[in-house]
Amino acid sequence: MNSVEYNFDPSYGYSLKQLLAIKTPTEPKEFDRFWQRRYQQALSIDPHPQLMPIAENHLGWRVLEIRYTSTDNLPILGWLLLPVSGVVKRGFIMGHGYGYGGLDETDFQLPFKEAALLFPCFRGLALSVHPAISADPYWHVLHDIHQRDRYILGGCVEDVWLAVSTLLSLFPHLAGHLGYLGISFGGGIGALALAWESRIARGHLNTPSFGHNPIRLRLVSNGSAESVQQYYKTNKKQTLTVLRYHDAALAAKRITMPIHCACALFDPCVAPPGQFAIFNALPGQKHLFILEAGHHTYPNQAQQTTKLLEELEVFFAPLLTEDN
C-alpha cells in the first residue's frame, strides 16, 4: 500500500502476526460498574419513536424519517428502511462513521432481506445536530472529554441502546432477531454498546475506533484521532483517565454474541493496532475479514467490499431463524 501521500506510515510497521498478538491495556477497577449503571438507566427510558414517511418505494425500500428520545432527553433523528413487500423478520441498527452525512446508494444495497434497517444519527451529528455539540469531527470527539460521566462517546453508546429500544417498541416480535453493524466511529461505539447489550444477537464492526487508547494516543493519525492526540498533549492524566473508561478493546472482552470484524492492515485515521486489539479481545465466536486498507482508497477496494457483503449476508442469516 502506498503511503507517499502521508507524512507517516499508516501500517505503522506492524505485520499481521504482530497485529493478532496485541493485548488489551490495563482496565480501571470500576469499568463494569460504570457501564452497567448507564445501561440500566438507558433501559428505563421510553424512546417514544415518531415516524414520518419520505418515500414509498426507493429501490424496494419504504423510507421513513425516525425520531426518538435518548438519554439527557436528547432527540435522535435518522432513517428507517422497511421492505416494500414481504414480512419484517429481523432488524438492524447501523452505526455510522464521522464521514456519514445521510443515506447513499450503498446503504440501500445492503444484502438484508425481510429486515427493518434503522440508521440513527449519533447525537450532535447529521440529522441529530444540536446547538451545544459541534458537528465537526475534530471538536465532536472532544466534547466533554474532561468529564468521565459526560464524555460524548458515552452518550453515543446510549443512543445505540435507545435505538434498540426503539426498534423493539415498533416491532416487538423482533426480540432475539436484532443485529448491529458499525463502521469506524460507529464500530468503536458499537463495541462499547454491545459489551452490555443483551438484546442484540449478532454484530459487525468495520475498522472500529477507540481500541487500546494507550496505543491510539501514541501512533500519529489523521482525523478525529489526531484531535484527541493534540488535546492529550496538554491534558495527559485527566484525558487518559476518561479514555480508559471508553476503550473499545476493554469493552470487547465483555461481548458474548457472535461478532464479525473487518480490520485494516493500513489505515491513516484508525490505527490498525487499535482495530486488532478489539478483535483480539473478543472472547466468543468471532470472524475476521482482513481489509487491505481503511479510510483510504485502493485498487482492490470494490472487490473486497463485494466479498465482505457476501460474508455479512451469511453471517447474519441466523437472525431469520427461530433459534439463532
Residue 111, pLDDT score: 86
β-pair partners for 264: 291
pLDDT by 10s per residue, the chain, length 324 = 766 789 999 999 999 999 999 999 999 999 999 999 999 999 999 999 999 999 999 888 999 999 999 999 999 999 999 999 989 999 999 999 987 443 444 466 788 989 999 999 999 999 999 999 999 999 999 999 999 999 999 999 999 999 999 999 999 999 999 999 999 999 999 999 999 999 999 999 999 999 999 999 999 999 999 999 999 999 999 999 999 999 999 999 999 999 999 999 999 999 999 999 999 999 999 999 999 999 999 999 999 999 999 999 999 999 997 765
Give the whole-angstrom CA distance, residue 70 versus residue 280. 31
Q: Give domain limits for the chain.
A: 16-316
Strands (E), the chain: 50-58, 61-69, 75-83, 90-95, 115-120, 178-183, 202-206, 259-264, 286-291
CB distance 324 to 318 below 8 Å: yes
Give the whole-angstrom CA distance, residue 75 versus residue 283. 34
Structure-derived torsion over alpha carbons of residues 134, 137, 142, 143, reported in degrees to the nearest 10: 30
pTM summary value = 0.96
Top-tier CATH class for 16-316 = alpha beta
CA distances from 204 to 44, 66, 286 (A): 26, 23, 10
Three cell numbers at 35? 457501564
Residue 4, pLDDT score: 73
Residue 323, pLDDT score: 65
CB distance 53 to 310 below 8 Å: no
